[in-house]
Amino acid sequence: MAAPKLAPLGTIYNKGDGISMAQEVGAKMWHMYNYESLGLLHGLSFDTPEGERSKLVLGWPELNHGSVFMVVDDRKRYFNEAGPNRHGHIFDHSIWRVPCSHEKPYIIFDQKQYETIEAGQIPYDKFNEKLIKADTLEELAEKTGVDINGLKEQVEMFNRFVENGHDDQFGRDIKSMAKFAEDGPFYAIKMAYNVLNTQGGSERNTKAEILDVNNNPIPHLYGAGELGGINANQYQGGGNLAECLIFGKIAGEQAANVMDEVADEASDKYNGINELADGDKIKDVKLDKD
């Protein structure tokens, strides 16, 4: 999975060390394209500076109901803004998929929608600070760097859908749509794709053993949880925690079952020795009798 930027919802200190360590010992990687997000619009939150956590806002109907839509790099919509939130996944040809990421996602709306937003509860304290206002669509396009022709075409299409009573692009409920005003001012606010957690990592088998690139278990190396999780393609709520509990138990049981190192051909291959079972080292461990 490649993305120009992902704003963290979880810890900002997760630097992918688990992946780096697994690569050092030749582990096979899988599900590297997949991650989980959660946010206002299909895994999007408000644009966040590098090194800062993004703000989690789950419910804000004034930003997906009315004369409001979201555009990306080609200045066009690419999903149903009022659709259900599925951990950032978007319904695409009969399956919920991790969305393609873009560099310039913007929410666009007109003056009457702004007034509706202001009249309601604003759960993001920097909303007005980050808002881009322009008297015309041309000026808004210039300020945001989007193509004016694409933006004007999208507004015209959106208004036509409202008039015809059907969203021909993405099937958004027509009751959630309202025509854009012909005259400004118009508004935009930049969004960012966020990441709650990654799910790619070292592949493991049913015994929680980490596999090498030839699908052989790497001796004494086990995995549990969302790092290299088996549950990545069709994520179910609570799946990451379930993998921590289930595979944590399996990994613990396997690690406690110390094998005969002399007969363990895989260990010879890796020049490995279980330091926990190595008598020369065990006898050197000094116990604190207190």
285, burial (CB in 10 Å: exposed 0-12, middle 13-18, buried 19+): exposed
Whether the per-residue pLDDT at 87 is higher than 60: the answer is yes
Whether the per-residue pLDDT at 2 is higher than 90: the answer is no
Q: At what angle do helices 137-144 and 148-164 cross, to 10 degrees?
A: 130
Q: What percent of the chain has pLDDT over 70?
A: 87
Structural domain spans, the chain: 38-195, 198-272
Eight-class DSSP state of 260: -
Mean pLDDT of 244-258: 92
Mean pLDDT of 193-203: 88
CA-based Rg of the chain, rounded to a whole angstrom? 25
Q: What per-residue confidence (pLDDT) applies to 50?
A: 85
Q: Output the furthest CA–CA distance in the chain (Å, rounded).
A: 83
The CATH number of the domain covering residues in 38-195: 3.90.700.10
What's the CA gap between 256 and 231, in Å, rounded? Answer: 25
Residues facing 97 on adjacent strands: 90
Note the pLDDT tens digit of each residue in 117-161: 999 999 999 999 999 999 999 999 999 988 889 899 999 999 999
The answer to whether the CB of 120 falls within 8 A of the CB of 103 is no
- Parallel/antiparallel/unpaired status of strands 7-8 and 186-195: parallel
Q: How many CA atoms does the CB half-sphere of 251 hold within 13 Å?
A: 19
What's the CA gap between 247 and 191, in Å, rounded? Answer: 36
Summary mean pLDDT of the chain: 86
Angle at 248 between CA 98 and CA 30, to 5 degrees: 35
Q: What per-residue confidence (pLDDT) applies to 197?
A: 82
Whether the per-residue pLDDT at 58 is higher than 90: the answer is no
- Cβ neighbours of residue 53 closer than 8 Å, sequence gap 6 or more: 7, 8, 9, 10, 12
Mean pLDDT of 219-227: 92
Q: What per-residue confidence (pLDDT) applies to 39?
A: 83
Whether the per-residue pLDDT at 277 is higher than 60: the answer is no
Cis status of the peptide bond prior to 219, with omega within 30 of 0: no
Whether the per-residue pLDDT at 114 is higher than 90: the answer is yes
H/E element, 30: strand 29-30
Q: What per-residue confidence (pLDDT) applies to 262?
A: 40
Report residue 134 as tokens. 């322009």
Q: What per-residue confidence (pLDDT) applies to 263?
A: 46
Q: What per-residue confidence (pLDDT) applies to 281?
A: 55
- Cβ neighbours of residue 20 closer than 8 Å, sequence gap 6 or more: none
Full 3-state SS string of 199-220: CCEECECCCCEEEECCCCEEEE
Mean pLDDT of 244-251: 95
Across 66-70, 84-88, 129-133, least confident range: 84-88
